[in-house]
Structure 1
């Protein structure tokens, strides 16, 4: 069920992108308003594309909510780590000095202070 809704959601997203790109720019930004005639007049085409855009946008929101509800119902009370089967790591023993394994090994040949050249 989730896969079907996800596929519909992706198709709606691609359709919505296409319809928005087909619409005529009314802002006149960069002077690229495009003229061009067609079967429908400019006003009728804008109204039809606006209605299609609204319909696709509403369907996109509905599928978004449906995917959220499906994901929430599938998650349950288990965490991601429970589903992976990973056991939490043990804390280090209390008697081990903290951070001692982070220090570099000390060799007797190396000088403890930097030498001046």
Structure 2
């Protein structure tokens, strides 16, 4: 189930990237963004119609992205076993290295 949700999440992510990159820039200061060059017509693919379509698509993809992420988080939390720090084995300090030389007390 998690693998299926991961694939769906990746597809939604790629679709969202494409839809966001297709949207017209609002800045327009550099003359980029594909201005709507003359011509009348109230069809679906006018500048306003495409902007509305892309905005709605982005919103739906964003909602799908959030729901998929939440579903993955819930599935991942259910398959994990709860652990306690208190039940783990204590960590002991490493022993000092032993040498073959005998230690001789130094007298002052």
Decide: shared fold, TM above 0.5.
yes
Cα distance, 1:65 vs structure 2: 0.5
Q: Which consecutive residues of structure 1, in runs of 5 or more, have no partner in the other structure?
A: 80-86, 102-117
Aligned residue runs from structure 1 range 47-62, under 5 A: 47-62=52-67
Which string of whole-angstrom CA distances, capped at 9 and with x for unpartnered residues, describes residues 68-105 of structure 1?
Answer: 111111112259xxxxxxx9875434xx47xx88xxxx
Partner of 1:9: 9
User: Structure 1 88/6 Cα, relative in aligned 2: closer, same or farther at 3 Å?
Assistant: farther
Cα distance, 1:30 vs structure 2: 3.5
User: Normalization by structure 1: what TM-score?
Assistant: 0.64
Which structure ranks higher in relative contact order (CA pairs < 8 Å, sequence separation ≥ 6)?
Answer: 2
Q: Which consecutive residues of structure 2, in runs of 5 or more, have no partner in the other structure?
A: 38-42, 100-108
Q: Distance in 1 between matches of 2:16 and 2:53?
A: 14
Which string of whole-angstrom CA distances, capped at 9 and with x for unpartnered residues, describes residues 4-48 of structure 1?
Answer: 000000000000000000011112253322135796110011001
Aligned-residue Cα RMSD (Å) equals: 3.0
Relative to its length, the structure with more helix (as a share) is 1
User: Normalization by structure 2: what TM-score?
Assistant: 0.68
Q: Distance in 2 between matches of 1:72 and 1:29?
A: 47
